[in-house]
Copies of this chain bind each other. A is one copy, B any other.
Amino acid sequence: MTGVPAQRPIGVAVLGHGTVGAEVVRIIRDDALDLQARIGAPLEIRGVAVRTVSPERGVPVELLTTDAESLVTRDDVDIVVELIGGIELPRKLVRAALDAGKSVVTANKALLAANTGELAEAAEARNADLYFEAAVAGAIPVIRPLTQSLAGDRVDRVIGIVNGTTNFILSAMDETGADYAETLAEASRLGYAEADPTADVEGYDAASKAAILASIAFHTRVSASDVYREGITHITAADLTSARALNCTVKLLAICERVTGPDGRDRVSARVYPALVPREHPLASVSGAFNAVVVEAESSGRLMFYGQGAGGAPTASAVMGDVVMAARNRVQGGRGPRESKYAKLEIAPMSDIITRYYVNLQVADRAGVLSAVAAEFATRGVSISAVRQEGAGNGARLVVLTHQATDRALSDTVAALDKLESVTAVTSVLRLEGSAE
């Protein structure tokens, strides 16, 4: 920037001072010179909005404020970093910031998945940046590669492990053979699960991320309510044992897929559920609290992005990347890529989606059971890939693995099996993803 006159500072407002917020404030203060050199102007914190002002936060007390609403519209604020969590309050603040022409960086997936259209339009109206790399998969660059690096390609599928809590639990269940409740308790004890783990274990968090990924990958607005969702609370130690016998493990997957509708036009499928994944699939070896996202596009082929999906420092890394980019845009003029929603693809209903099923049945141990069970699959056109009987007598179980069929045919089959006299109980039904057939 030799010869360029000194630039006025870029003002930053930070909303929230939890793990991520504190780390963002630390980086802006500690790495000031580096950041200034990269941006071409100094970055200055104008204020940090907190619920209660207390002096021991390690931030000059005069920067702390409880009045977030005034902070986000201050004249000397250029960029608002939203790290509050929740939906209504941050929505109001982000909206006010965008309406005032501020650029916004947020890590709030729930907010984005609920209001992506409204906020994107507000940013558009004022030509401001709305960046959210940290909202999906923490430090792992996923949003930027999808919106920019793959902007000239045709994405067919995005499939990811995007929730660290559930991946920690499922990995631990796979390794130790312990059941769900016990492993969840251990995860809470170690700080990998929150006091109320619902958002994670019921798949809401992953569903928000799936909505964001699908929106970007397919240039179509997809909101959290468009995402089919199942959590992991019904996964048993027996499921993991069965998975192991099939050379698989169980992962909570967020799947965004381009599928063909009955009219021959492209549709978008976005779904979150625990699924069997073959051990040789790259996602099978992503263990513990790590995240990974696999992108399959027409020209690029299969790409994988792997790293830490949560935590203060990794999330702050993604936030700061966005802050630096938004600040550079302020200095140089111009802005980053806007929301791209031109494709406006329809959402495919889950029943149309083609998957494979793993079905675990408790059955009467007598002749003819297998034939009766197989008939229910055959009637609905579902082809069986493998059957295995485990145990005998009252504890006899059948494990059935199907070939690909529509989710409708598969769930109809399971409903019919449940009514069969020779089937004592349908113990478990899981989808199988990432296999060739």
Q: Are B305 and A303 interface neighbours, CB within 8 A? A: yes
Q: Quick one: CB contact mask for A257-272 with B, threshold 8 Å, 1 for yes?
A: 0000000000000000
Q: Give the contacting residue for A219; candidates B38, B316, B321; CB below 8 A.
A: B38
Given A313-B301, A318-B300, A334-B332: A148 touches B325 (CB 8 Å cut-off) = yes
A322 to chain B, nearest CB (A): 8
Q: Are B152 and A321 interface neighbours, CB within 8 A? A: yes
Query: Quick check: is A400 within 8 A (CB to CB) of the other chain?
Result: no
Q: Are B320 and A139 interface neighbours, CB within 8 A? A: no
**Which residues of B have CB within 8 Å of A324?**
148, 151-152
Query: Quick check: is A317 within 8 A (CB to CB) of the other chain?
Result: yes
A142-166 with Cβ < 8 A to chain B = 144-145, 148-154
Q: Are A340 and B38 interface neighbours, CB within 8 A? A: yes
**Which residues of B have CB within 8 Å of A139?**
297, 299-301, 303
Q: Are B141 and A317 interface neighbours, CB within 8 A? A: no
* Chain copies in complex: 2
Q: Give the contacting residue for A337; candidates B27, B141, B319, B328; CB below 8 A.
A: B328
| Complex-state Cα separation, A35 to B297, whole angstroms | 15
**Which residues of B have CB within 8 Å of A308?**
300-303
Q: Are B144 and A321 interface neighbours, CB within 8 A? A: no
A23-60 with Cβ < 8 A to chain B = 23, 27, 31, 34-35, 37-38
A275-319 with Cβ < 8 A to chain B = 282, 297-308, 313-314, 316-319
A334-360 with Cβ < 8 A to chain B = 334-335, 337, 340, 342-343
A55-76 with Cβ < 8 A to chain B = none
| Complex-state Cα separation, A236 to B341, whole angstroms | 54
Given A321-B151, A328-B337, A329-B334: A307 touches B316 (CB 8 Å cut-off) = no
A residues within 8 Å of B by Cβ?
23, 27, 31, 34-35, 37-38, 133, 139-141, 144-145, 148-154, 219, 282, 297-308, 313-314, 316-325, 328-329, 332-335, 337, 340, 342-343
